[in-house]
Amino acid sequence: MEPADLSALQEQALEELDRARTLAELEAVRVKYLGRKGLLPAIMEKLGDLPPAERPIVGRSANAFKENFAQRLNVCREQLERNRGGVVPKRAWDPTLPGLWRGMGVRHPIAQIMEETIQIFDRLGFTIADGPDLETEWHNFDALNTPADHPSRDTQDTFWLTDTLLLRTQTSPVQIRVMESRPPPVRIIAPGRCYRRDTTDATHSANFHQIEGLYVDRNVSLADLKGDLTYFARALMGSEVKVRFRPHFFPFTEPSVEYDFSCHVCGGKGCRVCKNSGWIEISGAGMVDPKVFHNVGYDPEQWTGYAFGMGVERLAMIKFGIDDIRLLYDNDARFLEQFA
């Protein structure tokens, strides 16, 4: 008996099981192959006569045969028992049975926030722009008025890949790419991933998301920035949200602000997410620095603009009341399906 013959025999046996129309017929097939005087025990008996090298091979095939046979036997038996008195299907496997429900995925909260933000700014006339995660030092720093010796580079601990290539620490390089590629006016938002050598804790991650905004035209002012961002805050969070602007510094905006939303997790009372302040820092922003315009070839005498860069995780955390940023990256289905 060769292994190939065994597998042909197995095919034949399984087919006979499938063809059985009653439990009695099924039992007859079982006896024919596995019974005391059945075909398989006969093969097993003769195993000793084989050359020693072949014994384990044929032995293994015979065992597989036995297992497959037993499995199919069970399926067929269950089917026949279920159908007793009814119509017996032609095959043990019934293709008309409903499939297993595997559940539908839901959009990740980060993706939901990005989508909603894009929709809100779309109503203000913004279109989407995009840039690479792997950036040049020029786009991520120099063109943004952040030369190598600038102290603000230290606050953005960078993953450097080569001397001049890095994983972008912010979405602001997309501002540069857009302005380098077309003349003003410009009104874009750019959602995307950012990377910083941050130690992970409840509110920080080395890989996070920002949404950059840039609006350049004649006579754009700080009042436009405040108005548009307040509109955005209310559209996203509901009219009860409070927004506060604080003076700040960024090399590529002047004046610069940071703006906060009132904390939705605790309602402003103070909690782990807002570090007991009642406010959550959402974004840096400001009026585009004339030096940046100069770097991309825009005339700062003619054009003014505002820019902002918001933290998407922060928005998701306060919108959905998530008190630990790490939950957003664990991909635990029990967590994620709450955002259906």
Nearer Cβ to ligand PHE, position 245 or 339?
245
SS3 304: strand
Per-residue burial over 44-71, b = 16 or more CB atoms within 10 Å of its CB, e = otherwise: beeeeeeeeeeeeebeebbeebbeebee
Nearest distance from C-beta of residue 75 to ligand PHE, angstroms: 60
Angle CA 278–281–282, to nearest 5: 125
Q: How far apart are CA 49 and CA 175, in angstroms?
A: 81
Nearer Cβ to ligand PHE, position 176 or 307?
307
How many CB atoms neighbour CB 160 within 10 A? 11
Q: Cis ω on the peptide bond leading into residue 185 (within 30° of 0)?
A: yes
Q: Which residue has the tokens 């991520």?
A: 140
Nearest distance from C-beta of residue 102 to ligand PHE, angstroms: 39
Nearest distance from C-beta of residue 155 to ligand PHE, angstroms: 8
Nearest distance from C-beta of residue 140 to ligand PHE, angstroms: 10
Nearest distance from C-beta of residue 156 to ligand PHE, angstroms: 7
Nearer Cβ to ligand PHE, position 282 or 322?
282
Which residues have a Cβ under 8 Å from the Cβ of 129 and sit 6 or more positions away? 174, 177, 178, 188, 189, 190, 214
Nearer Cβ to ligand PHE, position 121 or 250?
250
Tokens representing 221? 């002012």
Nearer Cβ to ligand PHE, position 58 or 114?
114
Q: Which residue has the tokens 């079982």?
A: 30
Cα 18 from chain centroid?
44
Nearer Cβ to ligand PHE, position 184 or 309?
309
Nearest distance from C-beta of residue 253 to ligand PHE, angstroms: 5
Nearer Cβ to ligand PHE, position 205 or 253?
253
Q: How far apart are CA 312 and CA 110, in angstroms?
A: 7
Q: How far apart are CA 312 and CA 283, in angstroms?
A: 9
Nearer Cβ to ligand PHE, position 211 or 263?
211
Judge contact between 214 and 175, C-beta under 8 A.
yes
Nearest distance from C-beta of residue 151 to ligand PHE, angstroms: 14
Which residues have a Cβ under 8 Å from the Cβ of 238 and sit 6 or more positions away? none
Judge contact between 306 and 288, C-beta under 8 A.
yes
Q: How far apart are CA 337 and CA 301, in angstroms?
A: 51
Nearest distance from C-beta of residue 307 to ligand PHE, angstroms: 4
Q: Which residues bind ligand PHE (CB under 6 A)?
A: 170, 172, 250, 253, 284-286, 307-309
